[in-house]
Amino acid sequence: MIYRKMLKSKIHRATITEACLDYEGSITLSPELLVAANILPNEAVNIWNVTAGTRFETYAIEGPANSSDVCVNGAAAHLVTPGDIIIIASFIQLADEACYSFKPTVVFVDEKNQIKEVRPEMVSLNSTPF
């Protein structure tokens, strides 16, 4: 059986509120953002810095409820600056045939990291493998 790594969810254009070098690692997100994007604490996530062009992988941890904090911790804090715009992406392994019906979730946030909209990704796979 063939499995593919597919986008599961992303938080689109979040704003970095803090970069904490002295913490051991991770990205701190509110429980509301984690639930909306179906990301679990300790789950691996990719961070794409729209402002600086850097990309890295870390893991999510849960911050305070109803918070607008998006804080990159540890060594990765060197790759962001408060005010940077980022995309946070999580992935899933799917059997090949499941890829054609699976729809990733996109969480759109405002400049204060408050959820504006949650919807399925609009990209569609209209063809089947050879």
3-class secondary-structure state, position 48 = strand
Ordered by where they begin, the domains of the chain are 3-120 (2.40.40.20)
> From the annotation, which residues make up the binding site?
58, 74-76
| H or E element that contains 19 | strand 18-20
Instruction: Give percent above pLDDT 70 in the chain.
Output: 94
> From the annotation, which residues make up the binding site for substrate?
58, 74-76
In this structure, what DSSP letter does residue 50 have? T
3-class secondary-structure state, position 96 = helix
As annotated, the active-site residues are: 26, 59
**Residue whose entry in the numeric block shows the structure tokens 């499941």:** 98
Going by C-alpha positions, the residue among 30, 32, 31, 9 that lies closest to residue 18 is: 30
Residue 128's pLDDT band (cuts 50, 70, 90): low
Residue 130's pLDDT band (cuts 50, 70, 90): very low
Lowest pLDDT segment from 59-63, 83-87, 107-111, 118-122: 118-122
pLDDT at position 122: 77
Mean pLDDT of 45-68: 98
| H or E element that contains 29 | strand 26-29
